[in-house]
Chains A and B, each alone.
Chain A
Amino acid sequence: MPDILNFDKFFLPVDTWISALVDWLVGNFRPQFQMIKWPVDITLTGIDSFLNWLPPIIILIFIVLFAWKFSGKAVAIFSLISFLLIGYMGLWSETMTTLAMVFSAVIFCIVVGIPLGIIASRSDGFAASIRPVLDTMQTTPAFVYLVPVVMLFSIGTVAGVIATIVFSMPPIIRLTNLGIRQVHPELIEAALAFGCTPKQVLLKVQVPLAMPTIMAGLNQTIMLSLSMVVIAALIGAGGLGVPVFQGLNSLQVGLAGIGGISIVLMAMVLDRITQSLGELGKR
């Protein structure tokens, strides 16, 4: 047996390297990472306190009207029943916090993700180089990077949102890239022939035509962030994850159950509404 395949003799201490890397980052760059928290903190706190300050009736009316306008009567009725149910189960405030976490995570995903997607669509090199990064972001088990997130950003809801942003950003980058690349080359040629600058081609032709695909990416991003905000309760984030983990820890199946039901209902409402936003873009 060749010596080179002796896995006991040859061993890569990758685990030690990673620990060293994280320790080094924490030791030298913690203040910088704490600075990243600041905009997330402001956005999250703002949305959270606003949603919890608004009387539930206003939020209900808004959700129903929004759902009605974009997705029709059925979704509007479904949304009304879902949120009423959540309220009656006593999880209104947690739901608002989760909603705030999802919204802030999604806002950052849009602000960072769409420009990155646009850059990726214009440069094959960039697209190829971010692809493994996106794969890593999306597939690394959440529990694995919760630890370094805590070490760099400490615990709490803001750290939870940051973990959520990392986890849920890839789809919007990927689908923005895809949507823009799928715009028919003849249309771009036509835009150029009529004297569009590259910026005009992007804003007048590529982005509007990629909109349905970008909206599909947004939908995916929202769904992923919903699944992550619950896990984020592990590192002290508030919201609907809290009853779920309390229930699990104390074997209160009912408590975990209502937390789970609320998340599923909220996910379905958000999914239906954002999906019809995408359909709208298709005309």
Chain B
Amino acid sequence: MDEKNAIVQVKNLYKIFGPNPERAFSLIEQGKGKAEVFEETGLTIGVKDASFEVYEGEVFVVMGLSGSGKSTLVRMLNRLIEPTSGHVFLEGKDIAEMPMEELIQIRRDKMCMVFQSFALMPHMTVLQNAAFGLEVSGKSVKEREERGMKALEQVGLGANAHNYPKELSGGMQQRVGLARGLAVDPTIMLMDEAFSALDPLIRTEMQDELLKLQEQTQRTVIFISHDLDEAMRIGDRIAMMEGGRIVQVGTPEEILKNPADEYVKAFFRGVDPTNVLYAGDIASDKFVTIVDHKGEGLRTALEKINRAERDYGYVLDRRHRFKGIVSIDSLKQVIDSGTEDAKLSKAFLDKVQTVKSSAHLQDALPFISDVPWPVPVVDEDNVYKGAISKNIFLTTLHRKAE
């Protein structure tokens, strides 16, 4: 299947709260904002003209401050909140317009939801909670206990099956919430601020848990969050919401590099870019490269580096695979020792380490700060992609922190 297969398509989705919501549309057409519409009609715009696609198997994060409409948006996807107008296509079928029986079937088989407040049934055991979706759709006791148990084991709670939810800690309760979703084997998981009620340590743990589960089974996850670090961590793509509008959709990197407006920019101000950027993103190819072949000698290498007014040169083979670093000093040393025809490799510096272009900047930082030369960045096949100097690194930090 095509990797970018849009499983959910949302088109021109609106939610307007209040009686006779049509009144708001003409004002919206006139370009009036949320506050003005409320002043004139008393209607509240929950979601305004949302259109986006979610691809199969990705974690799609809807991100915004409270009141930005993200919870309303996700509830329109399974119609816990009725859209005022617009379409939600799931595998080509319009959820917004289907009759209730069909919708209930979709909620049972294709979608599940994980809630901020966990929303576990206090009168049911952990196992009964995990199997709740299966009970509702009328599966046999045997089947639902088996599948419920399997889901609990997936989240590491097999031993707590016969406890009641209130006997568990918050993190464990949300694992039950996660298991309840996994047990029905849904096509799409809706997660509404699923980890926001947990303390930071447990939250990170749960994010890792989710990523681990994603590695095993690529599910489509639509994740609502107000926490940018969380969005960056787990999101393949992020939709930024403000005042009911979706202002930008893109990968974390795209949004970080080109924020659509001041709101998005403001959001990212506090973000530590080393979490989001990869070594490959900031590697510069402006450094001197020397392809090691027969015509290339110590002197020509020295000449090249001098002419570029640099101190170091990066030696590659013909396929541009990284071999080593030479410096003006190391080249001069070899030349002065009289072995003029010596190979370039004689002048290689010691202790040279490379950084993979897919490494987080955070992980690359120690290499960059430890050595005087710009650290070479290579891809999986050891092909040279550029290098990162301390200067480049600091500039990146500085620019994003502005």
Contacts and interface: CB of A to CB of B under 8 A. Distances in A.
Interface stretch (B110-118, B242-250, B338-346): B110-118
A193 B136 contact: no
Interface string B89-115: 000000000000000111111011101
A283 interface: yes
Interface string B6-49: 00000000000000000000000000000000000000000000
Nearest to B116: A186
Contacts of B132: 191, 194
B115 A190 contact: yes
Given A189-B115, A195-B107, A195-B133, A205 B80 contact: no
Interface residues of B, number: 27
Contacts, number: 59
Contacts of A184: 117, 119
Classify the interface of chain B: helix, strand, loop or mixed. mixed
A100 interface: no
A184, A194, A200, A208, most chain B CB atoms within 10 A = A194
Classify the interface of chain A: helix, strand, loop or mixed. helix
A191, A192, A195, A204, most chain B CB atoms within 10 A = A195
Contact of A195 (B104, B123, B180): B104
Contact of A186 (B104, B109, B117, B123): B117
Contacts of A107: none
Nearest to B135: A204
A192 B119 contact: no
Interface string A202-223: 0011001101000000000000
B164 A283 contact: yes
A64 B250 CA distance: 70
Given A186-B117, A283-B164, A194 B184 contact: yes
B225 interface: no
A186 B107 CA distance: 16
A193 B78 contact: yes
Contact of A197 (B104, B117, B120, B164): B104
Nearest to A186: B119
Contacts of B117: 184, 186
Interface in A170-197: 184, 186-187, 189-197
Given A187-B119, A190-B120, A209-B123, 10 more contacts: A189-B119, A193-B190, A194-B107, A194-B108, A194-B184, A196-B104, A204-B136, A205-B121, A208-B123, A209-B122
